Amino acid sequence: MKPSFQLLATSLFVGMWLSACAAPELGPTVMPAIGALSQPLLRLAPDLPKATGPKSAVLFAFVAMDDKLTLQGDKFLNALESTAGPELYTIAFADALGPDNSHLYAIEPDADAKTLASPRSFLSPTLKEVSSNDPATISGTLNWALTTYPAKFTALDFFAHGGGYLGLGTDATQVGPTKRSVLPLGDFGTALRQGLKGRKLDLINLLSCQMGNVETAYELRDLADVLIASEDNISAGDASTIAFTAELNRQLRTPQPDARVIGRQMAIFAEATQMGSDYRAISAVELARMDEIKRTVNVLTNDLLAAMPTHGEAILKAYDAVPNIVISNSSQRDLWTFCKHLNQDVNDPVIRKSSLAVKAAVKKALLHTRDRENERCQGLSICMPPRKDIHKIMAWPLFQASLNSQFAKATGWNRFIEAVKATVPA
């Protein structure tokens, strides 16, 4: 690993950094905050070059590096400069460590990897520091970028610490009355909706740990066509921060970018099967397929709850058999693998039918998936806290919010997790 090795795992401990995506113990005051979501869009007035007319594509990079990612964030921006070109607009928001350090960039071509040469500006003459994990910052900058720099193809490259279905984005220099350890997933989706104002992105890349899960993909299903994300942690080394970033920007310079093609090519480019890659797993997901995953998981959930009185032991055996992700000790595990064990362990034709239907739906949604973790990562994970820690985990405020995610409510998965919890003595 490079000396600058950093995991893109969110720090959910209050005032404490995690060295991996271990599940955090949140204090009682750390609650999801959605007050900013009802506020009007930020009024931005940066001093940056104006658009020169519509282009074939625009990439908006959101770089939340007001934490230990500042060094990697600078490399990320330099990587964008290395493959910028006249065919597309490459625009970035970056929040570096410390006060008065929030900027917008109009990325221009530059081959010097040590210096940022692109024009940059504060968000306005009086708006010099914002919280990068504030929904208002995300919605305001996204709306400004897509409105100011028009293009047929639109892409979002989001670079931040991630915590799976619990959320993403940390900030060590937060302003305003609301302080967040992490931005809950539902608030992230709502922020994007407000910023898009009825528009739809072609592609979202989440350069953040553990965001390759059904909760995230379902939240974003109406906001983009394709999602690129990883079930596991991502190391913020040169392969992900520089090479992957530069290649994605380069892919967008093609005359007619295709989100499905680019998603598949980037999943291959990450080389997740190779030892030493910053990615241990990566998937390109066709988000329009998430409704079918939702439907089949809903059927499976109802079948599991109905079968618990007679097949509870076998269902729990299948639940416990799903391995943790190699690096992560999080409470999300692979959905396809769970269905595989249900099909093997539960002697019930109804459960077998519904579990096979989920596997088929997941397979159809994956444009491409690569990993070196075998059954630990087969494309998309789901909230599955290990039973030995289930009471502790389910007491976290952010976990309680995740049980009310769009996916959990639409499928009844939250009811199944509660049923699993009921099998474990408090």
pLDDT digits (tens, 9 = 90+) for 75-126: 999 999 999 999 999 999 999 999 999 999 999 999 998 899 999 999 999 9
Residue among 105, 115, 117, 118 at smallest CA distance from 145: 105
> pTM of the entire structure?
0.91
Phi/psi at 12 (5° precision): -100, -10
Answer whether residue 323 is part of any domain: yes
Residues 213, 64 share a domain: yes
To which H or E segment does residue 110 belong?
Answer: none
At 236, is the pLDDT very low, low, confident or very high (cuts 50, 70, 90)?
confident
Name the β-bridge partners of 283: 229, 369
* Number of domains making up the chain: 2
- Angle at CA of residue 377, ends 375 and 380, nearest 5°: 125
Answer whether residue 23 is part of any domain: no
- Angle at CA of residue 6, ends 220 and 110, nearest 5°: 80
pLDDT at position 330 over 80 = no
Answer whether residue 317 is part of any domain: yes
pLDDT of residue 294: 99
Residues 266, 210 share a domain: yes
- Out of 229, 259, 287, a domain closes at 287
Residues 267, 127 share a domain: yes
Answer whether residue 249 is part of any domain: yes
Per-position b or e across 230-265, b if 16+ CB within 10 A of its CB: bbbbbbbbbbbbbbbbbbbbebbbeeebbbeebbbb
pLDDT at position 195 over 70 = yes
- Out of 287, 319, 338, a domain closes at 287
pLDDT of residue 418: 97
Tell me which of 328 and 266 has the higher pLDDT.
Answer: 266
pLDDT at position 1 over 50 = no
* 81 touches 100 (CB < 8 A): no
Task: Give residue for tokens 């090479």.
Answer: 243
Residue among 374, 425, 380 at smallest CA distance from 407: 380
pLDDT at position 33 over 60 = no
pLDDT digits (tens, 9 = 90+) for 124-160: 999 999 999 999 999 999 999 999 999 999 999 999 9
pLDDT at position 170 over 60 = yes
Residues 345, 210 share a domain: no
pLDDT of residue 289: 99
Answer whether residue 360 is part of any domain: yes
pLDDT at position 24 over 70 = no
pLDDT of residue 36: 40
Measured distance CA(314)–CA(168) in Å, rounded: 34
Residues 281, 264 share a domain: yes
Spell out the alpha helix ranges (H) of 135-238: 135-148, 185-196, 214-219, 238
pLDDT of residue 39: 60
Residues 56, 140 share a domain: yes
pLDDT of residue 242: 94
Number of other residues whose CB lies within 10 A of the CB of residue 50:
8
What are the Cα distances from residue 62, in Å, to 6, 92, 120? 18, 6, 14
Answer whether residue 340 is part of any domain: yes
pLDDT digits (tens, 9 = 90+) for 377-387: 899 999 999 99
What number is the average pLDDT over the span 170-187?
Answer: 89
* 31 touches 397 (CB < 8 A): yes
Residues in the chain: 426
Residues 303, 222 share a domain: no
pLDDT at position 27 over 50 = no
For residue 126, the one-letter residue type is T
pLDDT digits (tens, 9 = 90+) for 291-306: 999 999 999 999 999 9
3-class secondary-structure state, position 261: helix
pLDDT at position 362 over 70 = yes
At 399, is the pLDDT very low, low, confident or very high (cuts 50, 70, 90)?
confident
Task: Give residue for tokens 């595989």.
Answer: 340
Residues 302, 282 share a domain: no
Measured distance CA(189)–CA(221) in Å, rounded: 10
Answer whether residue 40 is part of any domain: yes
Q: What is the CATH number of the domain that holds 106?
A: 3.40.50.11970
Measured distance CA(183)–CA(287) in Å, rounded: 21
As a dihedral over the C-alpha atoms of residue 234, residue 235, residue 238, residue 240, rounded to 10 degrees, the angle is 0
Residues 280, 417 share a domain: no
Answer whether residue 178 is part of any domain: yes
Residues 308, 281 share a domain: no
Residues 299, 251 share a domain: no
What are the Cα distances from residue 28, in Å, to 9, 175, 400? 21, 21, 12
Structural domain of 352: 291-421
pLDDT of residue 327: 65
Chain centre distance of CA 414: 21
- What is the C-alpha end-to-end distance of the chain, expressed in Å? 42
What number is the average pLDDT over the span 64-73?
Answer: 85
pLDDT at position 12 over 50 = no
Measured distance CA(167)–CA(14) in Å, rounded: 15
Residues 312, 281 share a domain: no
pLDDT at position 17 over 50 = no
User: 120-122 and 102-106: which strand pairing?
Assistant: antiparallel
- Out of 270, 287, 304, a domain closes at 287
Measured distance CA(119)–CA(137) in Å, rounded: 20
